[in-house]
Structure 1
């Protein structure tokens, strides 16, 4: 028996609209005993549902979207011509996906962020905009939400449920990002807004006999508290989904403190395989041990469902299926079914499916080859946790290099603040000499380890094919470049911070050495920029390699640091 009732694979990018890609994902799910597909696009429902009522569909009952269309096509063409045919085209796509999933015994869930709506609604109901700002608390939104989901489930009765995030501020309207200052907004609490939205969704979803899962996905401890208070007041039929770490997928962060504290509500726990915040699989990070521990925590705290994300909405064309982090999908799938799954068997299955073994190997030879691969690839997280992270703080823009001094510190101390969840980390980026030295050494350790792994990869193993060997070499050479870039960036930023904040120490032995290191690190930024430009012009890797190893980010940071140091912007 599997460890969790619901074992879900999530597609978050435009791949959700790619039929061939979804079929590939369904095949993987079938082979690895995952039983729930999550299609996650913030506007997915709004691209399929008109809703008809707001364009003149006033009959009590419609059997299909085409009967609604009979009554509204002229109005659609007049006011929103690009949305006239789009919904019924996408309807056909989604119905086919649902049918193909059903044949494999896989349920389909839709994930979005609310509130979302077609822009024309603001023209039809101008009272929704007050002093140029959309009002998040107008009662219209609750009626609109009910009608939208009612029409959706009338059209798609085989969808298993809806997963939604109401508290991120990433939707078109949310109390979290509400800028309206009308009297209604002044006197409505966040908790009341979350509750109003949840109940507006729950009514039609529950009436359709489907599951509503609300994500406890927030960006700070205050919002965490607000949505938690609202959740406590909701019907127990509503399930809750939580990321395994608070705020976002940061493996250096502690376990989400809300896990196991959801009252009588069913819990689903979310994980990431692609690595939005841990290297995209280009800076590889194989998370077998992390998954095992965190999945066990979920199981011990009564979680019914677990979700593994394969890609990210802001990075179309990139997925864990295409990198070394594909192993994470194998690991999650195995562990969601059996927490005691053998890690070597996980690597072996990946090697088999990739056709990386030489033909005609014996079972013992395959095991020896697998152990060699695992001994190298299994250490990648030890590198990556010291690369886009600094003293456990997020020092990247979703794994990308920061582009200015202020940007780097904003990412680490404000946007992705660890100290919100671990107060002891408030001094993690302090510039006392011991801490600066710790940070410098941390990056040196990452570089030393990735170079050690690259050396082992280059030596190769007699059990893998030539193509597999070259693939691993390419992966680890790009991994080394990624580590080199972050080493130069972090050294430059933290030494600049030290110089600006500790001018009175300019005569100390450490300060004199720090000045030399700073100059070298700034030089390294420009040398790497030149190397990355050459890489761009002379190689042909997946295009996201060049997104991550972007020379222009290095030159922008170099210019900014020189300005701050009073050296001019062109040095």
Structure 2
């Protein structure tokens, strides 16, 4: 925050299907200009999967896919190309309005056909091996391809401390030796750095949210972030998880003095908000 300019980041977030409706986005951009807001966020957990394959992971040719799978992959690729064209339009309009554009996601979030194409990530009991090196390769390729096709995005916002993704150390059921020997803090740090590196190389911003379901997971993520690069933005919710009357203030606000910090206030009606729209 600047004493002269107020809040440096003044954001509007879409967290609904209306982000894919141009009329709604166009209206939002006009409102943002009227209210002097400077950051637009599209929040969809798996939105990157709707913008890239990535091609390094999905062979478009060759004998690795049966004919039916090639057909459905082709259909998905057509949808991806349409989504890219739409997102490029959003970026053109936000750029003209002087508005930064971020995607907000939860990762690692694969599509279901990954398990058919790379069955080695599954164990005989059906559990997913979250420490398999493939997952970090997959995540890196997603981010790199995203930056190639949408080079004008300002960055990515991610919530790695939640169990709401298919691939997470926080709900790992795999009992292989590598998983048993991998500390959650080590896995989370590697996951964050896998996203950070391609973004930093392109001058983009990685924002890590402290959204977590338990005090233990929250504390774990905060400890990990203290070991990560100093230019990662730490986004801290006013109260941990989602707002509820009895929840305490977030004790970590102000504690990351070497990192840029964002503070999030829940005001738009989920559960109780902070009084603006108290019922959702």
Cα shift readout 1:426-467 (whole Å, capped 9, x = no counterpart): xxxxxxxxxxxxxxxxxxxxxxxxxxxxxxxxxxxxxxxxxx
Q: Which residue of 2 aligns with 1:257?
A: 251
d(CA) in 2 for partners of 1:239, 1:198: 12
Q: Which residue of 2 aligns with 1:190?
A: 184
Cα shift readout 1:529-552 (whole Å, capped 9, x = no counterpart): xxxxxxxxxxxxxxxxxxx7xxxx
Once superposed, what is the RMSD of the aligned Cα atoms?
A: 2.1
Unaligned runs of 5+ in 2: none
Cα shift readout 1:370-412 (whole Å, capped 9, x = no counterpart): xxxxxxxxxxxxxx6xxxxxxxxxxxxxx6xxxxxxxxxxxxx
d(CA) in 2 for partners of 1:245, 1:275: 15
Asked whether 1:215 is paired with 2:218, we answer no
Structure-1-length-normalised TM-score: 0.46
RCO greater where, 1 or 2, for CA within 8 Å and sep 6 or more?
Answer: 2
| Equivalent residues of 1:217, 1:243 under 8 A apart | yes
Query: How many corresponding residue pairs?
Result: 272
The one of 262, 267, 278 equivalent to 1:273 is 267
| Equivalent residues of 1:167, 1:175 under 8 A apart | no
**Structure 1 residue 249, shift from structure 2 partner:** 2.3
d(CA) in 1 for partners of 2:52, 2:46: 10
d(CA) in 1 for partners of 2:20, 2:48: 12
**Structure 1 residue 56, shift from structure 2 partner:** 3.2
**Structure 1 residue 182, shift from structure 2 partner:** 1.6
**Structure 1 residue 252, shift from structure 2 partner:** 4.2
Asked whether 1:163 is paired with 2:154, we answer no
Cα shift readout 1:84-123 (whole Å, capped 9, x = no counterpart): 3111010011000111111111110000000012222111
Q: Which residue of 1 aligns with 2:220?
A: 226
d(CA) in 2 for partners of 1:23, 1:253: 36
Q: Which residue of 2 aligns with 1:22?
A: 25
Q: Which residue of 1 aligns with 2:92?
A: 99
Asked whether 1:240 is paired with 2:240, we answer no
Q: Which residue of 2 aligns with 1:148?
A: 142
SS in 1 for 2:207: strand
d(CA) in 1 for partners of 2:108, 2:257: 26
Q: Which residue of 1 aligns with 2:52?
A: 49
The one of 112, 123, 126 equivalent to 1:119 is 112
Q: Which has the larger share of helix? A: 1
Q: Which residue of 2 aligns with 1:331?
A: none
- Where does structure 1 differ by over 6 angstroms across 4 or more consecutive aligned residues? none
Larger radius of gyration: 1
SS in 1 for 2:146: helix
SS in 2 for 1:84: helix
Cα shift readout 1:147-196 (whole Å, capped 9, x = no counterpart): 11000001111100000011111112111122222211111111111101
Q: Which residue of 2 aligns with 1:390?
A: none
| Equivalent residues of 1:191, 1:226 under 8 A apart | yes
**Structure 1 residue 79, shift from structure 2 partner:** 5.4
SS in 1 for 2:10: strand
| Equivalent residues of 2:140, 2:195 under 8 A apart | yes
Asked whether 1:35 is paired with 2:28, we answer no
Q: Aligned runs of 1:466-485 on 2, under 5 Å? A: none
